[in-house]
């Protein structure tokens, strides 16, 4: 299995009326992190386990995110929210 530092994550974003969701997908381990950013700037994070949700390939995850209206996002934006800078 690849080391965590060698994985190229993919990032997705969707803007809703009252909040924004940014998702980081680890395509090797089928895991991820979701950050929900409210209009007031507060945020919530949760860890995702895509294999427990029935996904067996990264392509299935990417197809579902696209079908749900998510678009490619910037790793920098995700990491700024994740680290608490914004």
3-state secondary structure the chain: CCCHHHCCCEEEEEECCCEEEEEEEECCCCEEEEEEEECCCCEEEEEEEHHHHCCCCHHHHHHHHHHCCCEECCHHHHHHHHHCCC
User: Which residues span the domain enclosing 24?
Assistant: 4-83
**What pTM, to 2 d.p., does this model score?**
0.88
Dihedrals phi, psi of 63, to nearest 5 degrees: -65, -40
pLDDT at 2 over 60: no
Q: What is the pLDDT of residue 4?
A: 59
pLDDT tens-place string over residues 3-62: 556 889 999 999 999 999 999 999 999 999 999 999 998 999 999 999 998 999 999 999
Total of domains in the chain: 1
Average pLDDT over residues 58-81: 96
């Amino acid at each position: 299995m690849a080391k965590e530092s060698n994985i190229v994550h993919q990032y997705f974003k969707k803007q809703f009326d009252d909040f924004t969701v940014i998702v980081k997908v680890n395509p090797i381990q089928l895991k991820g992190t979701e950050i929900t950013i409210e209009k007031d700037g507060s945020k919530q994070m949760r860890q995702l386990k895509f294999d427990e949700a029935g996904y067996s390939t990264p392509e299935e995850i990417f197809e579902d995110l696209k079908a749900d209206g998510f678009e490619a996002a910037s790793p920098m934006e995700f990491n700024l929210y994740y680290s608490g800078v914004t």
